[in-house]
Amino acid sequence: MEKGTLARTFGTLLQRLRLERGLSQEAFAQACGIERTHMGKIERGEVNVTVATTLRLVRGLDLSLPAFFAELEELLSAPREDGGAH
């Protein structure tokens, strides 16, 4: 796995799930007790988050950790569209 791939995939999944729920980044960040600018960095994969922050984010999406990580694992193991390896 390339450096940063996990953080980028985590952020992409988080953003997709947030948008599916009709939440703005600002509203979601506020509900999770996270600064909006930091939320942007998380969604862009620019930072790694702690387990505690992950739990707050997942709960903010009304998901369980296993459900979130199952989706994350699926994304990480899916072949890339450009044919390259992760």
- Give me the residue spans of the domains in the chain: 5-76
Which residues does the chain have with pLDDT short of 70? 1-3, 81-86
Residue 8: what pLDDT?
96
Structure tokens at 12: 């992409």
Residue 81: what pLDDT?
66
**Is CATH 3.90.420.10 the right assignment for the domain spanning 5-76?**
no
* Helix 51-60 × helix 65-77 angle, to 10°: 100
